[in-house]
């Protein structure tokens, strides 16, 4: 049998795109982005002011937050419609319904395997919601136009560029661009708020599972008077557990923020070093796509694992339950 030789047409497409990017990069010299930690303000006047907290401005992460919510609501609507249509026909969802059913089933099985059948229903909604939401937040910032299209404003004490019509030029000037959209995962306010929600719900799950006895994890005084030395050690260990629980907020918030912000810096540095050679920055964007997926999975998994741990007894409670089960047998 004669074998047909495959034409490597994909390689030619990549080569053509590289040449086109090199030519266009020489005609339209790209402007290097401004790397700032805090989100930029799109309005000069605050939206509202609270007595103690202060003024709230329209920053460029709020439009992204609104788009993320609209996309998630739209996906939920079309998924629900697909499942309802399949229930009236062959009971097999198609399209987005099939995709979301497979994703939700995978996440639920993962929760059930880690937390057990009893607490899977209570933990799964938080795990799945946080993971899917963070995933959308991480991936949406990779859409072309994010952090590159916005308002041209005068730079205040910053390195700026010149303006030509509606665009910035690579020449030095007094203007910078404040993008309309910025990824919400690189806003510390978003990651901190999500971390607080996650840690608070871990404690709620713990109280639901163990009742008031859950506090013995942090304030263990059971052996304080029976065995003073070891009782004092247990009490100090409990205080360390309390500090560890509070520090989870910092761990959750800065892990997600740090990794996603590092992606912005990496892309900007690679693009600045390579200039008109555009293929390597594109490969870095693919790496950032991978990091965004991994960080969403890590954030959700840690929430689920900590919730599963909160449902378990602590210290002597394990031994008491084991002795009780042994006597019943």
Percent of the chain with pLDDT over 90: 22
Alpha-carbon distance 266 to 186, whole Å?
14
User: Distance of alpha carbon 23 from its chain centroid, rounded?
Assistant: 36
Is residue 205 within 8 Å of 122, Cβ to Cβ? yes
Q: Which residue has the higher pLDDT, 30 or 100?
A: 100
pLDDT digits over 285-327, tens only? 788 888 889 999 999 999 999 999 888 865 544 444 444 444 4
pLDDT at 32: 66
What predicted TM-score, i.e. pTM, was given to this entire model?
0.80
Q: Distance of CA 209 to CAs 115, 122, 204, 309, 326, Å?
A: 12, 10, 9, 10, 22
For residues 54, 57, 139, 134, the Cα torsion angle rounded to the nearest 10 degrees is 30
From the number of C-beta atoms within 10 Å of its C-beta (0-12, 13-18, 19+), residue 78 rates as middle
Tell me the pLDDT tens digit for each residue of 203-256.
999 998 888 888 888 787 776 667 776 777 877 887 888 888 889 999 999 999
Predicted local distance difference test score (pLDDT) of residue 82:
84
Segment 294-304, tens digit of pLDDT = 999 999 999 99
pLDDT tens-digit profile of 36-89?
A: 788 888 887 888 888 887 888 888 888 999 999 999 999 999 888 888 887 777
């Amino acid at each position: 049998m004669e074998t047909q030789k495959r034409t490597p047409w994909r390689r030619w497409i990549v080569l053509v795109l590289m040449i086109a990017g090199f030519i266009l990069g020489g005609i339209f010299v790209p402007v290097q982005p401004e790397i700032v930690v805090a989100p930029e303000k799109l309005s000069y006047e605050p939206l509202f002011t609270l007595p103690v907290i202060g003024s709230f401005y329209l920053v460029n992460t709020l439009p992204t937050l609104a788009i993320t919510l609209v996309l998630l609501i739209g996906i939920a609507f079309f998924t629900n419609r697909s499942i309802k249509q399949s229930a009236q026909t062959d009971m097999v969802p198609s399209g987005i319904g099939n995709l979301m059913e497979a994703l939700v089933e995978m996440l639920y099985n993962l929760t059930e395997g880690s937390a057990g059948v009893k607490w899977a229903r209570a933990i799964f909604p938080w795990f799945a919601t946080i993971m899917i939401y963070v995933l959308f937040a991480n991936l949406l910032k990779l859409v072309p136009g994010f952090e590159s299209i916005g308002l041209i404003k005068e730079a205040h004490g910053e390195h700026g560029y010149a303006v030509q019509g509606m665009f910035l030029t690579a020449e030095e000037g007094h203007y910078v661009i404040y993008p309309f959209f910025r990824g919400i995962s690189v806003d510390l306010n978003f990651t901190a708020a999500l971390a607080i929600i996650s840690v608070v719900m871990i404690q709620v799950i713990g109280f639901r599972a163990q009742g008031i006895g859950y506090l013995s994890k942090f304030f263990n005084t059971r052996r304080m008077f029976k065995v003073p030395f070891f009782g004092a050690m247990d009490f100090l260990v409990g205080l360390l557990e309390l500090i560890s629980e509070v520090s989870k907020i910092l761990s959750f918030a800065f892990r997600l923020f740090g990794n996603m912000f590092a992606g912005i810096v990496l892309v900007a540095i690679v693009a600045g070093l390579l200039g008109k050679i555009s293929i390597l920055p594109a490969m870095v964007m693919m790496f950032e796509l991978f990091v965004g997926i991994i960080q969403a999975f890590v954030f959700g998994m840690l929430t689920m694992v900590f919730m599963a741990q909160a449902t378990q007894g602590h210290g002597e409670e394990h031994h008491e339950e084991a002795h009780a089960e042994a006597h019943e047998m």
